[in-house]
Amino acid sequence: METKLDPAKDDLPLMANTRHMLVKHYVLDLDVDFKSQVIEGTIVLFFEPGSRCKKGGSAGEGACLSQSDETFKIRASEPCHSPVTNLSARSSKTGYNDFSVCAKGEKDTSDKNGNHSNGEQASGISSSKNCCDIETHGSEDFLLVLDCCDLSVLKVEEVDVAAVPGIEKFTRSAKLTDAEELRNLRNQIVHELVTLPADHWREQLYYYTYCSQAPGCGELLFSTGAWSLEIRKAEVQAPRDFPHAIRIWYKTKPEGRSVTWTTDQSGRPCVYTMGSPINNRALFPCQEPPVAMSTWQTTVRTASSFVVLMSGENSAEPAQLQEGLLSWYYYVTMPMPASTFTIAVGCWTEVKQESHTADVQINNEFSSLFSRADLRLIEGSCGHVAYPCRFQNPDASSQLVIPHRVFAPWCLKDRCAEILLELIPQCLSAAHAILGTHPFSRIDVLIVPSNFSSLGMASPHIIFLSQSVLTGGSHLCGTRLCHEIAHAWFGLAIGARDWTEEWISEGFATYLEDVFWAVAQQLPHDEAREQQELKALLRWRRLRDEVQNSKEELQVLRPNKENTGEVSESGTCIIKHGLNAEKIFMQVHYLKGYFLLQSLAKKIGEATYFEFLRKFVQKFHGQLILSQDFLYMLLEDIPEQKGYGLSVENIIGAWLDTSGIPKPLLEECQSWDQCRLVQQVNDEVTKWIQANQRARKRTKRKRRQDEVAFRKLLPDQLVLLLESLLEEKMLCLRILQCLEKTYHLDEQDAEVRHRWCELVVKHKYTTRYAEVEKFLKEDQAMGVYLYGELMVNEDAKQQELAYKCFAATQKQMDVSSAKVVAEMLF
């Protein structure tokens, strides 16, 4: 028996043997039931032999027989299952119901920009039988391993794709003499289907749909473990002979960690993928390693009061199946890791513009430079596998603002109309001005429930935003929106080949959010530079504090160092610290990555640097990279930088492979204190400290407040002001009251209010504890560490407040957040 991983402390295993079999496409057919809090249905997976089995030769094939070559084993499996006559025997014992559903989805077309709309397309689920347990199986059979957790797998079967009408076009021979030839024919059909040219994507989706509905032709043996689903077919000993199309019948569990069942801000039920550390393996059996780049199509049925949003190229319109039941259909033709699949089902309201607004125009120095560069880049060829790529489409490349929709709970509709609708086209246009072609043809933006543990999350064609970004002015919402839009290029279109290199996604998005936001606001160059220097100082302070208060091993951007990107012979690997609850709330990969990119831009020059980024995006979109890919291309493209002492080895050594503050950053951080916006804050801090000193000396008879003129500050300046005042040992009550009144702190954005709550807690400003309570309940994405502040003072009232807020939110709280808070409280 294997030892089980401790979800609180250990690494995350990626169990799928992707070098033996590689999934190319998923077809999901699902029902969402809010009463039982279960998603159930089928998933059909279409495979190709993995890289290790394509190298030919009997030796290579023989090496793929089992997983005995693993570098580690994490297998605590339940017994294997083999077929019996029908599902009713199992259903009567477990409460599972037989189900057979046919639904209408959509058949989609594409316009010249690569934007997709809906028609109709059939999809469905065949009836199911079930399996019973057996204890052993032949050790020489090939074992297909999928990543799977918190799922009830009911049945696994081979799909008879040869039974689909019209499928003969994918076969070389219609003559079948025995079972082996029929098996080979089915695999040949799947191979021809998954390798269709990119311009046949509509035909490909059509046949994927009908192949997914084909009857089963034999149940497969399977067993489930804590982290995996293992499937085999008796007497099949090589991946090339294993069925290349399989159907899995399964149900999620209410406690499954890939989705959260909760209520929205209007009190109505909803379910969504919240970016769990275990990714999507508790939503559907899949291959989680990033190398398993796949496409997908999904049909979801649910009650007619709900709206289904998902990672999909089409803006789905529901089809009514019967009274009270709707079906939604989405698809993706750009191969991406299964971890990027996202779904949100709720009573969302679409927020629409009431009046026409003028087209966004970005008047910026980057626009003319990069519009010429784009024309040159389009002439080159893409380096990714074939798919309908927008980078090769001149109409798509000239599209400044892609189609977008906004959804929210009803109670936040007006606020979204006021803030988001105006910001989205500005931020999209700004992103295009810097990086060029939008990788995705459309985007939905959804305000998710208050238990969302982040300010935002980007997935293909959909962005989740926390309600926390809607308070105050547009600053926090705009910067976060820019951050998530940046992920379309860095994190999605270009992904990390090794998930431990999170900085490739988050460092780039953090760096680009400032650039995009400055362009969106159409700031003059000097003003943009000053705001970015202020932001750099705030991030420096955050990084410094995080390095002082975290384990060194969690501060390394490339924890696998020279072994980064390596996997076992079958393709399995582990994500170092992937399940560490503390790491989930750390920002070191955001901040050190940001500072590295900022340092490089400063040495090279912004215009040259951004032109390089466009070349990099053009070369690597649709692919997975390691840090070296970016650094080698940068230094080769701009060879004069080697004269600055820059080399790939030096950069990796100083920035990526070591803990703590990088030495080059220690040399740069002094300059930010001289920024004009920072100096203004320093002057205001001095005024407040002096006012505090006078107030503390003043007697009860002498209460008159000296008139002091305080400057109006930007949101980031307010954050710096409050952080600076937090360093003061004592602020008297009158100063706290004056601060609150001067800056209207209860009306500011969540970043400012968070610092204000810290001041309230530090100085025991009891009449404002209600604001702390409100923050902990409504801004859960940011409030986790306030619980620690409430506990550290050992003040009875503050601790009572912490317990009260946690009791009210614990059941709805994100699992990782709840764990961290519980450790602080208990």
Catalytic residues: 484
Strands 462-465 and 443-447: parallel
- Name the one residue in this structure whose structure tokens are 């299964």: 338
- The answer to whether 152 touches 250, Cβ cutoff 8 Å, is yes
DSSP at 490: B
- Name the one residue in this structure whose structure tokens are 């019209």: 166
Distance of alpha carbon 200 from alpha carbon 331, whole angstroms? 15
- Name the one residue in this structure whose structure tokens are 């279109």: 493
- The answer to whether 272 touches 454, Cβ cutoff 8 Å, is no
- The answer to whether 306 touches 347, Cβ cutoff 8 Å, is yes
Distance of alpha carbon 673 from alpha carbon 663, whole angstroms? 18
Q: Residue 472 contacts by C-beta under 8 Å, 6 or more apart in sequence?
A: 715, 747, 748, 749, 750, 752, 753
**Number of C-beta neighbours around residue 174 at 10 A:** 8
Q: Where are the beta strands (DSSP E) in 73-174?
A: 80-83, 102-105, 109-110, 116-117, 121-124, 131-134, 143-147, 151-159
In the chain, the N- to C-terminal Cα span, in Å, equals: 33
- The answer to whether 453 touches 262, Cβ cutoff 8 Å, is no
Q: How many CA atoms lie within 13 A of 571 on its CB side?
A: 28
What are the two backbone dihedrals, phi and then psi, of residue 496, each rounded to the nearest 5 degrees? -80, 130
Which has the closest alpha carbon to 476: 414, 404, 433, 415? 415
Report residue 801 CA to chain centroid gap: 33
Strands 343-346 and 269-273: antiparallel
What are the two backbone dihedrals, phi and then psi, of residue 233, each rounded to the nearest 5 degrees? -120, 130
Which has the closest alpha carbon to 620: 609, 635, 608, 631? 631
Which has the closest alpha carbon to 167: 135, 191, 140? 191
Mapping DSSP to helix (H, G, I), strand (E, B) and coil, where does residue 84 land?
A: coil
Per-residue b or e along 724-744, where b marks 16 or more CB atoms closer than 10 Å to that residue's CB: bbeeeeebbebbbebbbeebe
The kind and range of the H/E element at 179 are helix 179-194
Report residue 186 CA to chain centroid gap: 35
The first and second tokens of residue 417, run together, are 């109309």
DSSP for 580-622 reads -HHHHT--HHHHHHHHHHHHHHHHH-HHHHHHHHHHHHHHHTT
DSSP at 656: I
Distance of alpha carbon 576 from alpha carbon 554, whole angstroms? 9
